[in-house]
């Protein structure tokens, strides 16, 4: 089998796993925002993301919008991408998306969260040259039970965790987060 065929096969397996993950989330949750994104990546990065999707349906793991009753949002500083991001990350084999999101919040910000449910579900299309696949990016929402963030990230990617009344301009997926907050506050 050539490397082209190998990558095509991997992408096909990833597509099937993404479909299953999306179906499970659709069955379990309702009333969430939906977005579609396309990420163009290098071929080596494509392989990495396709393998993640094949393993659990998601290229970037599960994340959480953590909020206070005042409307402030918790963001963490991710040094590898040099952006403020929602706490979140990879899904382990034995975890649900929600369990992964909860573990990641604990590691990256040290905050306990009372979860509301799924807030945002993004279908992420991953493209490299002539290869393409897709995966889901589930973002849960919940109110902070403890409000003093403490970073204890075992991966060393997160340098800071802070509350923001307004997400800074250098916040990844800022428009999506603001759309969720506007919708959540209007209910």
Asked if 141 contacts 117 with a C-beta cutoff of 8 angstroms, the reply is yes
pLDDT of residue 1 exceeding 50: no
- Residue 170 CB contacts under 8 Å (≥ 6 apart), including other chains: 82, 83, 84
CB-based contact 88:136 (threshold 8 Å) = no
Check residue 4 and give its pLDDT: 47
Mean residue pLDDT across the chain: 93
Q: CB 26: neighbour CB atoms within 10 A?
A: 14
- pLDDT tens track for 78-123: 998 999 999 999 999 999 999 999 999 999 999 999 999 999 999 9
Instruction: Give residue 153's pLDDT.
Output: 77
Does residue 51 have a pLDDT over 90?
Answer: yes
pLDDT of 7 above 70: yes
- What's the pLDDT score for residue 98? 97
What is the crossing angle of helices 3-28 and 43-56, to 10°?
40
Pick from 162, 32, 42: which is nearest to 98 by CA?
A: 32
> pTM of the prediction?
0.93
Q: Assess whether pLDDT exceeds 90 at residue 2.
A: no
What pLDDT, on the 0 to 100 scale, is given for residue 150? Answer: 87
The answer to whether residue 21 scores a pLDDT higher than 90 is yes
Q: Would you say residue 185 has pLDDT above 60?
A: yes
Show me where the domains of the chain are located.
3-186
Residues 6+ apart with CB under 8 A from 173: 85, 86
CB 66 within 8 A of CB 82: no
64 pLDDT exceeds 50? Answer: yes
Report the pLDDT averaged over residues 53-76. 95
Per-residue confidence (pLDDT) for residue 6, from 0 to 100: 87
Q: Are strands 131-144 and 62-67 parallel, antiparallel or unpaired?
A: parallel
Q: How far is CA 54 from the centre of its chain?
A: 16
Q: What percent of the chain has pLDDT over 90?
A: 84
Say whether 73 sits in a helix, a strand or coil: strand
Q: Does domain 3-186 fall into CATH 3.90.79.10?
A: yes
């Amino acid at each position: 089998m050539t490397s082209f065929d190998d990558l095509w096969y991997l992408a096909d397996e990833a597509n099937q796993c993404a479909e299953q993950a999306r179906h499970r989330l659709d069955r379990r949750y309702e009333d969430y925002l939906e977005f579609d994104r396309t990420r163009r990546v290098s071929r080596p990065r494509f392989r990495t993301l396709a393998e993640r999707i094949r393993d659990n349906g998601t290229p970037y793991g599960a994340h959480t919008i953590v909020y206070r009753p005042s409307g402030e949002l918790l963001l963490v500083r991710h040094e590898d991408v040099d952006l403020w991001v929602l706490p979140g990350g990879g899904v382990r084999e034995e975890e649900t998306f929600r369990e992964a999101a909860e573990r990641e919040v604990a590691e990256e910000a040290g905050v306990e969260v009372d979860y509301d449910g799924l807030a945002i579900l993004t279908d992420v299309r991953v493209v490299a040259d002539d290869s393409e696949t897709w995966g889901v990016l589930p973002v849960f929402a919940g109110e902070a039970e403890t409000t003093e963030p403490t970073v204890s990230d075992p991966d060393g990617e997160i340098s800071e965790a802070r509350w923001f009344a307004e997400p800074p301009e250098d916040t990844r997926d800022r428009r999506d987060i603001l759309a969720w907050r506007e919708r959540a506050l209007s209910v």
